[in-house]
Structure 1
Amino acid sequence: MTAELFPVSTPGLTQLPGFARGEEEALLAAVEAVIAMAPWRQVVTPGGKPMSVHMSNCGAAGWVSDRRGYRYSAVDPLSERSWPAMPGCFARLAARAAAAAGFAGFAPDACLINLYEPGARMALHQDRDEVDFSAPIVSLSLGLPAVFLWGGAARADKAARIELHSGDVVAWGGAARLNFHGVLPLREGVHPLLGRRRINLTFRKAL
Structure 2
Amino acid sequence: MIVKFPVASLRRALLALALGACASVASAASTFHVELDTSSFAATGWIDLQFNPGDPSSPLAQVSLTGFSGFGDPATAQLTGNAGGSLATGYTFVNNGAGGANGLFHAVDFGGKIGFDVTFSGAADPGASHASVFAVALYNQAQDALLGTDDPSGSLVLLNWTPAGTVVPTMLNNTIGTSVNAVSAVPEAQTWLMLGAGLALVGGVARRRKLAA
On whether the aligned pair clears a TM of 0.5, the verdict is no
TM-score normalised according to structure 2 size:
0.33
Relative to the length of structure 1, the TM-score reads: 0.33
Higher helix share: 2
Larger radius of gyration: 2
Q: Which has the higher strand share?
A: 2
